[in-house]
Structure 1
Amino acid sequence: MTRIRDGVSRPRARDRRGVRDTALAALVPVAACSVALAGLTAWTGAGRAGSPARIRVTQGKVLLPSAGVPETAAFFDIANEGGSSDTLLRVTARGVPDGVALSRHRMTGGNGAYRSPIASVAVAAGESLAMSPTGVDLTVPVPEGGWSAGDLVTFTLEFRRGGTVESVAVVVRPGSASLP
């Protein structure tokens, strides 16, 4: 309702309050939706949206260690065929003492190389990781009695979201064509 004074229509104070109250009432659901959208965006950006991680482990190889060398390297191809990222946290092997360690191959300025232990390795959704002698690999202690070329070693790979995956690796001679 308006008052007319001097031929000009003016809204009453009560009408202005109603508009303000209506605007404030509309603001609450808009703010709630904005907060929900921001949360979903963060959830998606963190790799937690989409289908779960589906891990496939193939092409396992263990290098035949040289005589008297206490450890060797192992490699796998890991594919994440799911819609969420995952992380390889730990690897064990049957019959292997002292545990298997994740490591990354590093180069020095003088073309020397060394292994650097790592705590975990990420595998993004829809991506794969090909372990290699020049990247991420596994440092494996050699069991008493050692291995021969062609032996099979069973590994269990533990992932944050994908659970555990058991895979078999074949022992191969260093420099063989079957290396990654």
Structure 2
Amino acid sequence: MSTGHNDGPTVAPGRPGPALLSRWTARLRPALAPLAAGLLTLVCLSLWTATGRAGTPAEIGVGEGRIFLPVLDTQDTTGAFFDIANTGGSEDQLLEVRTEIGRAMFSDRQLTTGAGRMIMIPRIAVPAGTTLEMSPFTPNVMLSPERPLVEGERVEFVLRFRQAGDVPVSAVVVRPGS
């Protein structure tokens, strides 16, 4: 028999009760952290896009290079140096260098205790919005010419970049220090 009392709170028809709301909030709570991270990422990407740099490709420009005239007649390698500007919005990588006068590869200086040594490297990164100025102390091109070089001579190269593709450039043979 019914006494006419309702022991629990009265709930209007069609509205969820407190127990149902409590279960839903308990289920949604673990999703709040990933949802907040996603929203923060979306805001940051929107701001990056609004600056006009998002997704712009690398824009590579290479100035005339220099090749050091070997100091000794017995020296079979020398350095070639280029200034590479990337005015684009994404990094590019210099993947290969070719020339018809000999073998060319990338090298860098590795400092060890008391001295440095040259090491071969597979590629050279050119970050967005920077200029890479090659020198004997930074990543550069090591050249093994098949014939003696002459001061003032111009040598043609092709630099192959991941995004910019092949970029033809010339370099002039100079005495070191000039």
- TM, length-normalised to structure 1: 0.71
Cα distance in 2, alignment partners of residues 154 and 91 from structure 1: 11
Cα distance in 2, alignment partners of residues 125 and 174 from structure 1: 30
Cα distance in 2, alignment partners of residues 94 and 123 from structure 1: 25
SS in 2 for 1:164: strand
Q: Which residue of 1 aligns with 2:15?
A: 15
Cα distance in 2, alignment partners of residues 122 and 131 from structure 1: 12
Q: Which residue of 2 aligns with 1:140?
A: 143
Q: Which residue of 2 aligns with 1:78?
A: 84
The 5-angstrom pairing of residues 60-139 of structure 1 reads 60-65=65-70, 66-96=72-102, 99-110=103-114, 112-139=115-142
Which runs of 5 or more residues in structure 1 are unaligned?
A: none
Q: Percent identity?
A: 36
Deviations 1:70-119, CA, capped at 9 Å, x for gaps: 111110001101111111111111232xx311110233322x33211111
Q: Which residue of 2 aligns with 1:166?
A: 168
Cα distance in 2, alignment partners of residues 90 and 62 from structure 1: 17
SS in 1 for 2:163: coil
Deviations 1:107-155, CA, capped at 9 Å, x for gaps: 3322x332111111111110111000111111101122x1100000111
Cα distance in 1, alignment partners of residues 167 and 97 from structure 2: 10
In structure 1, give the amino acid aligned to 2:74: G
Equivalences, count: 154
- TM, length-normalised to structure 2: 0.72
RMSD of the alignment, in Å? 3.3
Query: Over alpha carbons, which structure has the higher Rg?
Result: 2
1:9 CA drift (Å): 7.0
